[in-house]
């Protein structure tokens, strides 16, 4: 079971669990809250079949990675990603982020530039800036996030049960696009996340990524469902596509937050088509 050490907390290492499969051009898949690298199971086979080397990993605090009580901010998350890329000596890598994972895609390039990034993909992602502010009227009121944080701290297991209803829009999709077993498995993955991480990550959802997005020069694809109840389409995906030069927006109609599962065919088609495109062609395509 491979791990990369990205830091220490007192006497123990902070290790990230990762999986590295296939060969060819590298694609790194970065998961959302409160999941793990295993959440990409509907994207992994198509990417491998298409000839890509696919790396998944679990963010600190989640999955089989270490669960420290520090480092839950995007500067640290992007440094963790940087160390993983260096450990595996990955060059010209495609970064694909779902939900929280889009924050790493943005902040990594905000800090380190796009020189080593061949493509950027934001799926149901939190950028550009989810918090309502005088210069960001499209955002969400802070009391909404405060309420989520309090609910997770009080009883995260009960919170996850309600959270996944809107994660998959189960009132519309249960029994058709998602099964009870899939929802249960997602809950099980959430339950093994660190208790500190589960609470601390809520505040990272509304970090300001606008300056990071402005620094991205890699060809960029944004995929978002217009029925997303977790990360609103109008506040996130639609705006991110306008803030990254040359970005392309794929809107999936009537789709919830977790489109990587419920609308995997649409997501995979858009993702593979984008990864296959030549860089010069994409840069000619307006948002």
Q: Which of 66, 99, 125, 236 is catalytic?
A: 99
Q: φ and ψ at 129, to 5 degrees?
A: -170, 110
Q: Which of 212, 218, 228, 235 is catalytic?
A: 228
Q: For the stretch 134-168, what's the b/e string if a residue is b when 16 or more beta carbons lie within 10 angstroms of its beta carbon?
A: eebeebbeeeebeebbebbeeebeebbeebbeebb
Judge if the upstream peptide bond of residue 6 is cis by omega within 30 degrees of 0.
Answer: no
**257 belongs to the catalytic site:** yes
Task: Give residue 261's region: left, alpha or beta (phi > 0; psi -120 to 50).
Answer: alpha
**263 belongs to the catalytic site:** no
Task: Give residue 219's region: left, alpha or beta (phi > 0; psi -120 to 50).
Answer: beta
Place of tokens 């970005």: 247
**99 belongs to the catalytic site:** yes
Catalytic residue ranges: 99, 228, 257
């Amino acid at each position: 079971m491979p791990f990369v050490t990205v830091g220490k907390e007192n006497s123990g290492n902070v290790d990230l669990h990762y999986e590295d499969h296939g060969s060819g051009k590298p694609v790194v898949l970065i998961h959302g809250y409160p999941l793990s690298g295993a959440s990409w199971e509907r994207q992994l086979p198509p990417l491998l079949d298409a000839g890509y080397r696919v790396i998944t990993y679990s963010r600190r605090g989640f999955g089989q990675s270490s669960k420290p009580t520090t480092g839950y901010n995007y500067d640290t998350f992007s440094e963790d990603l940087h160390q993983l890329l260096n450990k595996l000596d990955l060059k010209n890598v495609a970064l694909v982020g779902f939900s929280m994972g889009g924050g790493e895609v943005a902040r990594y390039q905000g800090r380190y530039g796009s020189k080593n990034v061949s493509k950027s993909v934001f799926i149901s992602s939190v950028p550009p800036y989810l918090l309502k502010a005088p210069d960001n009227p499209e955002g969400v009121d802070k009391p909404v996030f405060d309420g989520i944080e309090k609910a997770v701290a009080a009883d995260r297991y009960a919170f996850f049960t309600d959270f996944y209803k809107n994660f998959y829009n189960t009132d519309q999709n249960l029994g058709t696009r998602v099964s009870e077993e899939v929802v249960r498995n997602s809950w099980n993955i959430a339950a093994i996340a660190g208790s500190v991480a589960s609470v601390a990550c809520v505040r990272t959802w509304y970090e300001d990524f606008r300056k990071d997005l402005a620094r991205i020069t890699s060809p960029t694809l944004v995929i978002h469902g217009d029925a997303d109840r977790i990360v609103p389409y109008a506040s996130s995906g639609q705006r991110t596509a306008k803030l990254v030069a040359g970005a392309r927006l794929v809107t999936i109609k009537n789709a919830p937050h977790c489109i990587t599962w419920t609308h995997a065919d649409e997501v995979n088609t858009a993702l593979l088509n984008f990864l296959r495109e030549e860089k010069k062609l994409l840069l000619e395509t307006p948002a």
